[in-house]
Amino acid sequence: MKRQYLHMPNKFAYRSREKELLDGSNIQWNLLCKNLNELDILDRAIGGHALSVKSIKQLMTDRRKIYHIVDLGCGNGDFLKFIADWSRVNCFRVKLTGVDMNAGAIEYLKIHCAGYPELSGVEADYDVYLNAIDVLIIGAGLTVLKMGDLLALHQVSFRIIDKAV
């Protein structure tokens, strides 16, 4: 059977530099929570969390070490909870920090992740947490970063890789 594809005009050829709606301070609490929950459902359904943890597993080899993992643009912390659950089952020690510019997302994270003492959330811009980390997770946040910011993150990622090798 031949696949049929829906033709779409090439409206995704250029990235927007505008803030995402979730990064705005004027989003209603109930809509923010609904959207964050939907993103979690989507990530779990398409295997996004499991695929990312598969990559993290390659970096975490020493069960005696406490790994500091930072998730930039963490939203409600669902991925950090996923990492925490995996770490508990596999006897790895972690310190998990979620960083998001949206105060509502961090407030929701603190409620959503209350049973995870290894997990904390911070309302901040990404550059606050670029030092003293072992694993850096960057989700959809890359879509709105400027070139200078991308270069800074690139340098940090090489520093992390050098520490791991």
Report the pLDDT value the prediction gives residue 10, as an integer from 0 to 100: 58
CA angle 119, 120, 121 (to 5 degrees): 135
Check: CB of residue 80 under 8 Å from CB of residue 98: yes
Decide which of 107 and 161 is more confident: 107
- Percent residues over pLDDT 90 in the chain: 24
| Residue 106: how many other CB atoms lie within 10 Å | 21
**Statement: residue 9 has pLDDT above 70:** no
Paired tokens of 152: 């800074």
- Considering the chain, what is the average pLDDT of its residues? 75
pTM score of the predicted model: 0.70
* Inter-residue long-range contacts of 81-84, CB under 8 Å, 24+ positions, other chains counted: 81/112, 81/113, 81/116, 81/119, 82/49, 82/53, 83/53, 83/56, 84/116, 84/118, 84/119
Q: Could you tell me the strand order of the sheet in which 119-123 lies?
A: 119-123, 93-100, 66-72, 135-138
Q: How many helices (H) and strands (E) does the chain have?
A: 5, 4
Residue 145: pLDDT band with limits 50, 70, 90: very low
Check: CB of residue 72 under 8 Å from CB of residue 129: yes
Report the pLDDT value the prediction gives residue 147, as an integer from 0 to 100: 46
Report the pLDDT value the prediction gives residue 141, as an integer from 0 to 100: 45
The domain ranges of the chain are 21-164
Secondary-structure class of domain 21-164 per CATH: alpha beta
**Statement: residue 136 has pLDDT above 50:** yes
* pLDDT tens digits for range 55-109: 788 888 899 999 888 888 888 899 899 999 999 999 999 999 998 888 888 999 9
Q: How far apart are CA 84 and CA 79, in angstroms?
A: 9
